[in-house]
Chains A and B, each alone.
Chain A
Amino acid sequence: MLAYMIRRVFQSVIVLLVVGLVAFSMFRFVGDPVDNMLGQERTQADIERLREQLGLDENFVVQYWRFLEQAVQGNFGLSYRQGRPVADILVERLPATLELALVSGLIALIGGIALGIFTAIRKRGIAANLIMTGSLIGVSLPTFLIGIVLIYVFSVELGWLPSFGRGEVTDLGWWTTGFLTVSGLKALILPAITLGLYQMTLIMRLVRTEMLEVLRMDYIRFARARGIRQRSIHFRHALKNTLVPVITITGLQLGSIIAFAIITETVFQWPGVGLLFINAVQFVDIPVMAAYLMMISVMFVGINLIVDMLYFAIDPRLRVDRKGGH
Chain B
Amino acid sequence: MTKTPVLSVRDLIVEIPTRRGVLRPVDRVSYDIHSGQILGVVGESGAGKSMTGNAVIGLLDRPARITSGEILLSGEPIHQLQGEPLRRLRGKRMGMIFQDPLTSLNPLLTVGEQLTETIQEHLGLSNADARNRAIAALEEVGIPAARQRIDSYPHEFSGGMRQRVVIALALCAEPELIIADEPTTALDVSVQAQIIALLKRLCRERGVAVMLVTHDMGVIAEAADRVAVMYAGRLAELGAVRDVVMSPSHPYTAGLMASTPLASIGQKRLRQIPGSMPRLGALPDGCAFHPRCERATDQCKTGGSPTIASGGGRAACIHPLPAAKSEVTQ
Contact = CB atoms under 8 A, between A and B. Distances in A.
B98 A227 contact: no
Nearest to B104: A222
A49 B122 CA distance: 85
Contact of B108 (A221, A314, A325): A314
A237 B98 CA distance: 17
Interface stretch (B22-30, B149-157, B228-236, B298-306): B149-157
A222 B166 contact: yes
Interface in B78-132: 87-92, 95-96, 98, 100, 103-110, 114, 117-118, 121-122
19 contacts: A218-B98, A219-B105, A222-B104, A222-B169, A224-B59, A225-B90, A225-B95, A225-B96, A225-B170, A227-B90, A227-B122, A237-B106, A241-B107, A315-B107, A315-B108, A317-B155, A325-B157, A326-B158, A326-B161
Contact of B106 (A223, A322, A323): A223
A218 B104 contact: yes
A227 B94 CA distance: 9
Interface residues of A, number: 28
Contacts of B88: 227
A230 B121 CA distance: 12
B241 interface: no
Which of A222, A230, A323: most chain B Cβ within 10 A? A222
A228 B118 contact: yes
A241 B89 CA distance: 26
Contacts of B122: 227
B227 interface: no
Contacts of B110: 316
Given A225-B90, A227-B118, 4 more contacts: A221-B98, A224-B59, A225-B170, A227-B122
Chain A, interface SS category: helix
Contacts, number: 92
B137 interface: no
Contacts of B108: 240-241, 244, 314-316
Contact of A222 (B92, B105, B117): B105
B71 interface: no
Contacts of B107: 219, 241, 315-317
Interface string B134-159: 00000000000000010011011110
A225 B117 CA distance: 13
Interface of B: 57, 59, 87-92, 95-96, 98, 100, 103-110, 114, 117-118, 121-122, 149, 152-153, 155-158, 161, 166, 169-170, 173
Nearest to B122: A227
A263 B7 CA distance: 66
A235 to B, nearest CB: 12
B155 A324 contact: yes
Given A221-B98, A325-B149, A227 B89 contact: yes
Contacts of A325: 149, 152, 156-158, 161
A232 interface: yes
Contacts of B109: 236-237, 240
Contacts of A232: 117
A322 B156 contact: yes
A217 interface: yes
Interface string A283-326: 00000000000000000000000000000001111000011111
